[in-house]
Chains A and B, each alone.
Chain A
């Protein structure tokens, strides 16, 4: 079942700008993950943040997690045209490693 809600649904920015998207979820989690999907392709794992972590960085990506608010954010800094894709958050709330995906945010970076 889908647990994550993401906003915005779509985001259009100029190259070089930052892109921020948010994910909210309903139940306690073990970890939260962000994935990228280019149109018609599979998913690429971007970053995983555990429930006892508050912030994580990977290159131009910054992820925060607020378990009290049951929310996470993904920030992409200095965006590039190649960042154009759909971004999904996914929560692991079980003991069997199943992921529940949010609805996704479609990001368009204009050159």
Chain B
């Protein structure tokens, strides 16, 4: 199957610092990756769509300067939470679309961010 990894799996940081989360497709090329945010016991909310070699498109209400997304290669997308605040604490999940099957998203294991 198609495997997606995320690093780190958990991160604790101080308020005001920036945190980078990596999303890698391990055995397929992902021309498109998605970033989601999930609060406890809630559903996934799409934050942005990341296309390799182009700027990310953000969903309404998501600050692009706050959540920087870079999709520099077909196997790597990064999400940087800039100047993190406690309200940014959440579970961040990425997914990738394989060129051979663009109907199915393959999800990473998620990154739990806690901002103190």
Contact = CB atoms under 8 A, between A and B. Distances in A.
Contact of A101 (B43, B59, B60, B112): B43
Interface of B is mostly: strand
Interface string A24-42: 0000001101010000111
Interface residues of A, number: 25
A81 interface: no
Interface of B: 4, 6, 32, 34, 41-46, 49, 59-60, 91, 93, 95, 97, 102-110, 112
Given A43-B93, A98-B49, A101-B45, 11 more contacts: A2-B43, A2-B45, A40-B91, A40-B110, A41-B109, A41-B110, A42-B107, A45-B107, A98-B46, A104-B42, A106-B41
16 contacts: A1-B59, A31-B103, A33-B104, A40-B110, A41-B109, A41-B110, A43-B93, A43-B95, A45-B106, A48-B104, A96-B49, A97-B103, A97-B105, A98-B34, A99-B105, A102-B43
